[in-house]
A and B are shown apart, each in its own frame.
Chain A
Amino acid sequence: MSWRRLWAIVLKELRQLSRDRVTLAMIVGIPVIQLVLFGYAINTNLRGLDAGIVDQANTAGSRALVMDMLATGVISPVARADTPEQLIAMLRRGEVSIGVAVPPDFERRRIDGRQVAQIMVDGSDNVVQSAAVQLAQVPIDSATPDRRAPLVSTPAGGPISIVSFYNPQRRSAINIVPGLIGVIPTMTMVLFTGIAIVRERERGNMELLIATPLSSAELMIGKVLPYIAIGLVQTSVILALGRWLFTVPINGSLLEVYLAAGLLILANLTLGLLISTRAQSQFQAMQMTFFVFLPSILLSGFMFPFAGMPKVAQWLAEILPLTHFLRLIRGIMLRGASLWELWVDVLALAAFTLVMMTAAILRFRKRLD
């Protein structure tokens, strides 16, 4: 690996980019357009949300209430906790997206007509939030085995209260903007490197390059590096616009937001490189990019909640970088989680990058046949 040759490639890419007005416009234009378009929410119903349950009352009535909630099919219990605090921690780590807490004085509250239970919801996901509203409609009367004991009064807003963590006002932009930090690079980064190699092949530059001492790794890494910077510029545009137009908060560390974004950018750039070593023409590279882009949008949890998808779709989604990134960015930006707490997805993105880069370097031959 020669740093001089690597730098020569980086410099060449940057110079070419600076003369390519369409691509330059794309770097800033796509984030702005998408942000404005997706600012409008997309809402759906769903079932099978991962839920954590705390039943501190543990009476016949409280157990019946929990069973009724499970019977709606909206939630499926994956964890039991002893205290509401444990539930909150699970929410932050992203282990559950909904928490049901029944306080010790459940029976007392029911008779007093106060709110008898609480649903805690990860408000960083819009769809989960609307599911919680649906869940809170479970009639408290039918949950009571003793039908003759009437409620003294019904508290305003229903007997079950909903607490939305991380997005108390239930604004959809709060979910959409962090998602876009992932969606936009998924589209543009793959495209940038997707055409990078094949373009030089089409223009005839490649025959010249492979006849020089330039190595595959120098060429591949040299092509990725400039676009990491471009990707981070895009991230900044989305963050700034999100802040300015939709007042989206960054609850976690800004550095970690950029680190996570960097991981996703790398994953997509290397995927693009691999596409580029396979594609026969720029047009074909573009088609292949869309082949990856559509599942990313649909399966990653950006548009539709991950929990609501069939198992096969979930397995597929686990392969996509965007799925892991969404977990990271929602965790960091909205729930204030740290990268360390979300290490599984960090590892997944890093592994994806490594596999793609290796495959691209191995697939690229300094031969014409």
Chain B
Amino acid sequence: MSVNGNGNGIAIRAHGLTKRFGSLVAVDHVDLEVPSRHVYGFLGPNGSGKSTTIRMLCGLLTPSDGEIDVLGLSIPKQAEALRSRIGYMTQKFSLFEDLSVRENLEFMAAVQGVPKARAPKRVDELIEQYHFGDRQKQLAGTMSGGQKQRLALACAVIHDPELLFLDEPTSAVDPESRRDFWEKLFELADAGTTLLVSTHLMDEAERCHRLAVLNRGVLVADGTPIELTGALEGHTFVVESADPRRAQRVLVALPDVLGVAQVGNALRVLIHGEGDALSHLKEALAGSGQEADVHPAPPNLEDVFVAVTREKREPQERAA
């Protein structure tokens, strides 16, 4: 597993990446830089352009505009040369449900060009590593969601790819399996693989080394999770009141409040702008005659997500 020939370890570079489907702009001038040996996350809601971007990066979709460089290859022109160096785990389970675990692995080994002499050993190795020892003859279609994801990952890495694309890999998996799955991803990153993972789950996004936030096809923020949350320091508060629903109605009406979400009996408030936000919130609540306890809270990725998507939308709404 070599670091690509792109100098100081940038696995993916995209500039002005755009995809239009008719009048719909699915991906809108996205600039991207994914460092090697990192787990890089794509965070965004459904329809934000995550899958489309991944498909363009691995050469399955032709971009309407923009330049892509993956592992030193110009995509989509050199997509064919890229195929043997990447692994791709699709959003929907895409292995053969009517083949057994071992048959699926054998098939992928042959198709991915794992040398014939090495293939049986590699298949055994993956069956062992991914805990399929007792079910290698089971048909893939009869397995649970978590097992299917594990098999899909094993198949995606069978040829030791330098770069792995994972499109919402754990959306249909229980939390326990998800933890195991992420363990595997970090093992791969430690071994030198670059991983690009799309997700709409905040707890998954938090695990990534770096993160890009996509909304409606636009890249609205990127950085490490700490950088992203750090930028929101002083903007997030927890409000505890006797009647959280009523307090929520008051707070939502305030012009600089970006989001109010109920968490149990408390409200999580994200506020935009300068000044003493804490006393501003307290005054507003007192003004409506409510007893409430307001205190600052550390920002999380969900706040980041709400903040960046609301800010980007505001000018449009004003214009409309």
Contact = CB atoms under 8 A, between A and B. Distances in A.
Interface residues of A, number: 28
Contacts of A210: 60
Contacts of B106: 8
Contacts of A146: none
20 contacts: A2-B113, A4-B116, A5-B110, A5-B111, A9-B111, A12-B107, A16-B99, A205-B94, A206-B94, A207-B60, A207-B90, A208-B94, A210-B60, A213-B80, A213-B84, A213-B112, A213-B113, A367-B60, A368-B55, A368-B60
A369 to B, nearest CB: 5
B98 A16 contact: yes
A204 interface: yes
A251 B55 CA distance: 58
Nearest to B116: A4
Interface string B80-105: 10011010101011111111000100
Contacts of B97: 203
Contact of A211 (B88, B98, B110): B88
Given A16-B96, A207-B90, A367 B111 contact: no
A368 B113 contact: no
A227 to B, nearest CB: 17
Contacts of A367: 59-62, 76
When A and B form their complex, which 4 residue pairs have the shortest distance between CB atoms, in order from nearest? A8-B110, A208-B94, A211-B88, A204-B94
Nearest to B85: A213
A278 B83 CA distance: 25
A211 B83 contact: yes
Contacts of A246: none
Interface of B: 55, 58-62, 76, 79-80, 83-84, 86, 88, 90, 92-99, 103, 106-108, 110-113, 116, 139
A368 B83 contact: no
Contacts of B116: 4
Main secondary structure of the interface of B (DSSP, over half): loop
B83 A213 contact: yes
Given A15-B103, A203-B97, A366-B80, 17 more contacts: A4-B110, A8-B106, A15-B98, A16-B98, A204-B92, A207-B60, A208-B90, A211-B60, A211-B88, A212-B84, A212-B108, A213-B84, A366-B60, A367-B76, A368-B60, A368-B61, A369-B61
Given A207-B94, A208-B90, A213 B60 contact: no
Contact of B98 (A20, A212, A213, A214): A20
A150 B320 CA distance: 107
Contacts of B111: 5, 8-9, 209, 212-214
A2 B113 CA distance: 9
Which of B84, B95, B96, B110 has the most chain A CB atoms closer than 10 A to its own CB? B110
A8 B107 contact: yes
Interface of A: 2, 4-5, 7-9, 11-12, 15-16, 19-20, 203-214, 366-369
A7 B94 contact: no
Contacts of B55: 368
A15 B95 CA distance: 14
A12 B97 CA distance: 12
Nearest to A8: B110
Contacts of A9: 111
B110 A204 contact: no
Contacts of A366: 60, 79-80
A89 B58 CA distance: 64
B93 A204 contact: yes
A12 B90 contact: no
Contacts of A4: 110, 113, 116
Contacts of B112: 212-213
Contacts of B90: 204, 207-208, 211
B142 to A, nearest CB: 12
Which of B60, B84, B95, B103 has the most chain A CB atoms closer than 10 A to its own CB? B60
A12 B99 contact: yes
B107 to A, nearest CB: 5
A208 B55 CA distance: 11
Contacts of A16: 96, 98-99
A108 B68 CA distance: 94
A5 to B, nearest CB: 5
A9 B90 CA distance: 20
Nearest to B104: A12
A213 to B, nearest CB: 5
Contacts of A207: 60, 88, 90, 92, 94
B58 A211 contact: yes
Contacts of B107: 8, 11-12
Given A2-B113, A368-B60, A212 B83 contact: yes
A9 B106 CA distance: 11
Contacts of B92: 204, 207
